[in-house]
């Protein structure tokens, strides 16, 4: 995984964490590329809002119903699965979520809330959350969205195939189909945004340059950890960031102080509205 992808994951993760200061949430490696590796399994819920005040927090904290909680994707993210997922996604999802899964499909732009950038969020969301959301859609609280319910249209296997596909899209390792519209995942642009976010924090006097540097350096370490493939965490994203930071400290890659600065910085960036 590239550094940029990790930046992006982490930034999302930070958004999640920030909406629940007592827990850390984090991403997990998603799956493969065209070359089918076993799906690493991602984890965790959330929607990504378009900023503070959006429905992201409510979505994120929605309790996964018992019948879904803990479900794991039984479908290996093989080339076959991704191929089927690609077809399904183009047919049923891209109009709203966009070819690249960035939430920017042509039919989605008039919706409130907007379609989630599933290529991103799926990498941090648990199998159970994704399967639940795709199965049941968003007509109920706390979602109250136009996200359709798919369980009567797509059987279980098809829903897992499409989950494999959106995660692969978010890895930047497969090319989106170009049938409907919407931008492709752009890891570099995302990374640039996060650098800019830290820079803005410094400029606005929210962070010292040193804090910004530490923040970005810890991001980079997390990236390495993610690239190496984090195994599944109990509690999914709820404690992923905490786990990652603790692991990096334990491995001597960062100091406890770095970890504390990191957590503190992102809370401040968030509070300042700089965390997109
Ligand atoms: C009519 C537009 C529309 C279509 C078609 C659609 N979605 Fe969505 N989807 C949304 C909206 C709007 C949201 C955000 C609100 C919500 O979470 O309910 C969403 C949310 C989601 C989420 C939750 C992501 C998160 O970050 O919380 C997933 C997963 C998802 N969609 C997958 C799919 C898949 C897979 C398909 C195709 C089988 C699909 N959607 C088709 C509109 C759509």
Domain ranges of the chain: 31-171, 187-271
Query: Which ligand 1 atom is nearest residue 48's CA?
Result: 26
Of 70, 60, 102, 75, the residue nearest 189 (C-alpha): 102
Tell me how far CA of residue 175 lies from CA of 35, 166, 179, in angstroms.
12, 11, 12
213: left (phi over 0), alpha (psi -120 to 50) or beta: alpha
Q: What spacing in Å lies between the alpha carbon of 145 and ligand 1's midpoint?
A: 9
Instruction: Please tell me whether residue 133 adopts helix, strand or coil conformation.
Output: helix
**Whole-prediction pTM:** 0.65
Q: Is the CB of 134 under 6 A from ligand 1?
A: yes
Q: What spacing in Å lies between the alpha carbon of 156 and ligand 1's midpoint?
A: 17
Q: What spacing in Å lies between the alpha carbon of 159 and ligand 1's midpoint?
A: 12
- Which amino acid residue places its CA nearest to atom 40 of ligand 1? 93
Instruction: Please tell me whether residue 93 adopts helix, strand or coil conformation.
Output: helix
Q: Is the CB of 57 under 6 A from ligand 1?
A: no
Query: Which ligand 1 atom is nearest residue 163's CA?
Result: 35
The distance from CA 149 to its chain's CA centroid, rounded to whole angstroms, is 21
Identify the pLDDT of residue 58. 59
Instruction: Please tell me whether residue 75 adopts helix, strand or coil conformation.
Output: coil
Identify the pLDDT of residue 55. 57
Contacts of 80 (CB under 8 A, 6+ apart): none
Distance between CA atoms of 218 and 216, rounded to whole angstroms?
Answer: 5
Distance between CA atoms of 232 and 160, rounded to whole angstroms?
Answer: 18
Tell me how far CA of residue 167 lies from CA of 86, 209, 229, 267, in angstroms.
11, 34, 14, 27
Query: Radius of gyration (Cα) for the chain, nearest Å?
Result: 18
Per-residue pLDDT of the chain (276 residues; tens, 9 = 90+): 444 544 444 444 444 433 333 333 333 344 333 333 333 333 333 333 343 334 555 566 688 999 999 999 999 999 999 999 999 999 999 999 999 999 999 999 999 999 998 988 887 788 999 999 999 999 888 889 999 999 999 999 999 999 999 998 887 778 888 888 888 766 666 677 778 889 999 999 999 999 999 998 888 777 666 655 555 444 445 456 777 888 889 989 999 999 999 989 988 888 888 875
Q: What spacing in Å lies between the alpha carbon of 148 and ligand 1's midpoint?
A: 7
Class of the CATH-defined domain 31-171: mainly alpha
Pocket-testing residue among 96, 139, 144, ligand 1, by greatest number of atoms within 8 A of Cβ: 96
The DSSP call for residue 231 is P
Of 4, 41, 1, the residue nearest 227 (C-alpha): 1
Pocket-testing residue among 116, 123, 155, 237, ligand 1, by greatest number of atoms within 8 A of Cβ: 116
Distance between CA atoms of 54 and 169, rounded to whole angstroms?
Answer: 24
Q: Is the CB of 133 under 6 A from ligand 1?
A: yes
């Amino acid at each position: 995984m590239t550094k940029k992808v990790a930046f992006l994951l982490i930034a999302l993760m930070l958004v999640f964490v920030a909406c629940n200061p007592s827990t850390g949430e984090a991403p997990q490696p998603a799956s493969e590329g065209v070359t089918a590796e076993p799906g690493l399994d991602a984890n965790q819920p959330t929607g990504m809002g378009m900023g503070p005040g959006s429905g992201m927090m409510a979505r994120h904290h929605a309790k996964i119903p018992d019948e879904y909680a803990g479900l794991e994707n039984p479908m290996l993210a093989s080339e076959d699965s991704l191929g089927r997922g690609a077809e399904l996604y183009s047919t049923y999802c891209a109009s709203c979520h966009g070819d690249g899964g960035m939430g920017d499909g042509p039919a989605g732009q008039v919706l409130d809330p907007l379609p989630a950038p599933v290529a991103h969020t799926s990498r941090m969301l648990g199998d159970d959350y994704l399967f639940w959301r795709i199965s049941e859609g968003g007509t109920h609280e706390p979602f109250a969205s136009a996200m359709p319910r798919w369980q009567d249209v797509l059987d279980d296997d098809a829903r897992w195939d499409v989950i494999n596909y959106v995660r692969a899209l978010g890895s930047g390792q497969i090319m989106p189909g170009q049938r409907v519209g919407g931008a492709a995942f752009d890891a570099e642009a995302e990374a640039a945004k996060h650098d800019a976010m830290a820079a803005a924090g410094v400029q606005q006097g929210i962070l010292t340059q040193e804090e910004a540097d530490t923040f970005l350096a810890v991001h980079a370490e997390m990236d390495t950890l993610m690239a190496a493939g984090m195994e599944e965490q109990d509690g999914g994203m709820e404690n992923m960031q905490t786990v990652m930071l603790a692991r990096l400290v334990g491995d001597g890659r960062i100091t406890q102080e770095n970890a504390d600065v990191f957590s503190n910085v992102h809370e401040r960036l968030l509070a300042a509205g700089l965390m997109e």
